[in-house]
Structure 1
Amino acid sequence: MQIAPLSPDDPSELGGYELLGRIGQGGMGQVYLGESPGGEPAAVKVIKPSIVDSETRLRFAQEVEILKTIWGARIAALLDADPEADPPWLATEYVEGLDLSRHVASHGPLDALLTASLGATLAEALATVHKQGLLHRDLKPANVLLGPNGPKVIDFGLAVFAESSVSLTAANTVVGTPSCMPPEQANGEKPLTPAVDVYALGAVLLFASTGHAPYRADNIHLLFHQVVDASISPDLSGAPEELMSLLTAMLAHQPQDRPALDDVVRRCRGLIEARGLKVTQARRRLTNFTAAPAHVLDDLLAVDHPAPPGSTARPHTGAVEVPAGRGEPEALAPGAARQEPGGFRLNRQEPEPPHTPPMPPAPVPRPTDPRLLFARIDTSTPPPAGTTTDEAAAKPDRSRPLTRPAARGGTGSTPRRSLRHSAQARITAQRLREAYAANSPF
């Protein structure tokens, strides 16, 4: 995962959201990491000014209206939007973590148990969307975010109301991702049915368990030919034996031959229970295995402290890349700023306390197994007498003023508002989750 610093041409604020960095970009716009005045993180999507016209605004407004109707625990929620602004923008819930595509590329495919847990979770989420009369139409590994509270589905930009033949796309134009697209969608058939999302979910689960899509080709024209040709079966090589029957059914060429989402949930649940686990236990294992350590947002929101007179400060340059891997950190040259796993810092200074010899922190082994990253972490400094561990974790340091550098383009005389409180709240919540996971009997 990468979070890049803002460029000089980027806005510093949109609709009251302070923009902190770039999350990603696509053909139609840019996505920023933002924060509301109350400290709520958000993914702020902005349409490129170069492509803003009446049709683009209409499509964007349709996406906003659709997002307003979608709800569910596994759906990234809409927070705010203004399709009439210049440029148009919308803000959705920020999910901190890798998408499924990048996780598999970095850590390899999931085993059968974790894939079944992912399938049950996503199938239930899509069933909720279908009950609201909507289809996703563009489910793919990149649209499944593996957050600290489990997977969530994003990007309903192509969503349409079920059984509707009305679309803003031009005639004879197919919109979507070919590698996960069902044959009827690739053929431009209308109206589409919920079976399109069942097929796409099958493609996502195949990728999660094998690292490849149902069809692979050197060019998009050959790929479309493979998808629509009923005589060419999807490539299920490498899929776990326990999932073979389910994946074959979900990737059936004819929509009527695919199972309903409720049946997908039932069959995934059966595989999990056959392993002697409950569905909640399997989901917890999936989350603990896939969720990235919560460093990215906390480091980004960390405040700067002015160096006391006579002290030496270690400046951190604006590192922009968040490593996808979770192994040991690379050795750095003397004087180089360390790139911490999972986050980056923007011109942050950490002075040594005056008149106090620096104390080296207690060494903490860094596990190479990603499942061990969520083990209990013992703090190296005990809390003061009479203070509980949770109180000490939640109590911010008041010994130094909480200031931040001036907003970009300012004179530096007016400090930006402190964001320490929101970062500290997330740190405390993460510690509570880690303690719960460590004490859990599952």
Structure 2
Amino acid sequence: MQIAPLSPHDPTELGGYELLGRIGHGGMGQVYLGESPGGEPAAVKVIKPSVVDSETRQRFAQEVEILKTIWGARIAALLDADPEADRPWLATEYIEGLDLSRHVASHGPLPSLLTASLGATLAEALATVHKQGLLHRDLKPANVLLGPNGPKIIDFGLAVFAESSVSLTAPNTVVGTPSCMPPEQANGEKPLTPAVDVYALGAVLLFAASGHLPYQAANIHVLFHQVTDPAKTPDLSGVPDELVPLLTAMLAHQAQDRPALDDVVKQCRAVIEAQGFKVAQARRRLTSHTAAPTQLLDSLLPPAEAPTVPFSPAGEPEAGATAEPPAATGTGIGTETTRVLPPTGPGRTPTLVDHPGPQPEAAGARGPAQIPPSAPTADTGRAPSPLPAPGPPARARGGRPRHSAQARITAQRLREAYAVSATF
């Protein structure tokens, strides 16, 4: 999904963040691409006015408090929040790139070297979360973003304190993604342990290496039966032989049979080193392979046509015309999708509402701005990103400066595009 224009009913600013477009939505809220006064991009999550009540606010406030305690290089950081606002919102780090489900749908599974590097990176990140006394509980391919600086984990909306029975979730309900959920979580057992994230990470790595999840079924009840049936083994078809022992252990039916995250890191390192690479080398290869070309915000839509300057037959500008030539109208990179926050969060209905597996977009999906590829660079093998011609500085309504000229151009183009395509 690409960044969509703001609708006439969307806010244009929240908590000092200027909102530029929509990047995702769910049953309980909308996620916008925002920009801080200093130009920092952010994913701004807002609860819909129609569902704002005391319980929703409590769950949202709990998510904010949990996010305040989470830190780590591989975790999307909380930037700011206001759960008491008329429209409760929170802003997190914006990570430009595809999530794992869309990357695999577009480019195919990762080779074993890169899957092992992904495993070591995410296992280390989850271990940091566990040291903070938290569990993610909803790790899945859509919650792993492949940014320009490597993978990061997002969406801690279902995170809970480890070994705690305190929860706002209604009793006898299960919340999460069934296709990546361990048997004990699917059965509603409490308290949950760090082994739930080990299992989910195993499902993520299985998907990265093979393009499918441990269990697949069109009916959610059949899927839950497969997950909770101890006689039903996960489907490891298509997994490279060197990864089968690790994934078999991580997807063990009994929580006590799964390895600790430190052991997962060690086994991933062993797979990497057996292929003659150092872990740091494999990490760089993973980032180079998965990072989408950098998108400039004003390249997400075709640029507006520059005004032409009438010239006289003598070659001089006509009276009253600007003598400067028209600016270049080339577009920037727009061939990959941008970050979309999954529709999970603290305010979602605590029922079995997830689909059996990730629903990636078609592999041929492309952004609205297309350019011919340039020659690849020697260092990365990727085509360089042409920079669009800079526009003049602009001011917002009422003379108030926009946060940046870039933000103003982008917001204006998004709104113009919406006006053109609107059916009313």
Query: TM over 0.5, yes or no?
Result: yes
Aligned equivalent of 2:126: 126
Aligned equivalent of 2:369: 339
SS in 2 for 1:373: coil
Aligned length: 371
**Contact 1:110–1:209 at 8 Å: present in 2 too?**
yes
Aligned equivalent of 1:440: none
Aligned equivalent of 1:147: 147
**Contact 2:181–2:200 at 8 Å: present in 1 too?**
yes
Indicate the larger mover: 287-296 or 201-210. 287-296
Deviation at 1:19, TM superposition (A): 0.5
Q: What do residues 156-192 of structure 1 show as CA deviations (whole Å, max 9, x unaligned)?
A: 0000000001110111010000000000000000000
1:373 matches 2:363? no
Change (3 A) 1:262 1:302: farther
Q: How does 1:343-422 map to 2 (within 5 A)?
A: 365=374, 372-373=381-382, 377=384, 402-404=392-394, 407=396, 410=397, 416-420=402-406
Q: What do residues 91-132 of structure 1 show as CA deviations (whole Å, max 9, x unaligned)?
A: 000000000000000100001000000000000000000000
Letter of the 1:7 partner, please give it: S
Deviation at 1:307, TM superposition (A): 3.8
Deviation at 1:218, TM superposition (A): 1.1
Aligned equivalent of 2:419: none
Letter of the 2:83 partner, please give it: P
Q: How does 1:287-366 map to 2 (within 5 A)?
A: 287-297=287-297, 299=299, 307=307, 309-310=309-310, 322=336, 339-340=369-370, 365=374
Aligned equivalent of 1:438: none
SS in 2 for 1:119: helix
Deviation at 1:52, TM superposition (A): 1.0
**Contact 1:39–1:422 at 8 Å: present in 2 too?**
no
Deviation at 1:401, TM superposition (A): 6.7
CA distance in 2, matches of 1:35, 1:250: 40
Aligned equivalent of 1:108: 108
Say what the alpha-carbon RMSD is for the aligned residues.
3.6
Aligned equivalent of 2:9: 9
What is the TM-score normalised by the length of structure 1? 0.76
Aligned equivalent of 1:344: none
**Contact 1:35–1:41 at 8 Å: present in 2 too?**
yes
Aligned equivalent of 2:420: none
Deviation at 1:419, TM superposition (A): 3.4
Q: Provide the identity percentage.
A: 73
Instruction: Structure 2: state its 5+ residue gaps.
Output: 311-324, 339-360, 410-424
**Contact 1:403–1:416 at 8 Å: present in 2 too?**
no
**Contact 2:293–2:385 at 8 Å: present in 1 too?**
no
CA distance in 1, matches of 2:9, 2:164: 40
Aligned equivalent of 1:260: 260
Deviation at 1:372, TM superposition (A): 2.3
SS in 1 for 2:124: helix
Instruction: Structure 1: state its 5+ residue gaps.
Output: 331-336, 342-362, 380-392, 424-442
Deviation at 1:86, TM superposition (A): 1.5
SS in 2 for 1:90: strand
Letter of the 2:161 partner, please give it: F
**Contact 1:304–1:402 at 8 Å: present in 2 too?**
no
Letter of the 1:193 partner, please give it: T
Aligned equivalent of 1:48: 48
Q: What do residues 11-36 of structure 1 show as CA deviations (whole Å, max 9, x unaligned)?
A: 00000000011111112111111000
CA distance in 2, matches of 1:418, 1:299: 15
Change (3 A) 1:27 1:296: farther
Letter of the 1:91 partner, please give it: A
Aligned equivalent of 2:248: 248
Letter of the 1:339 partner, please give it: A
Change (3 A) 1:136 1:422: farther
**Contact 1:5–1:20 at 8 Å: present in 2 too?**
yes
CA distance in 1, matches of 2:7, 2:365: 28
Q: What do residues 262-291 of structure 1 show as CA deviations (whole Å, max 9, x unaligned)?
A: 000000001101111100000000000000
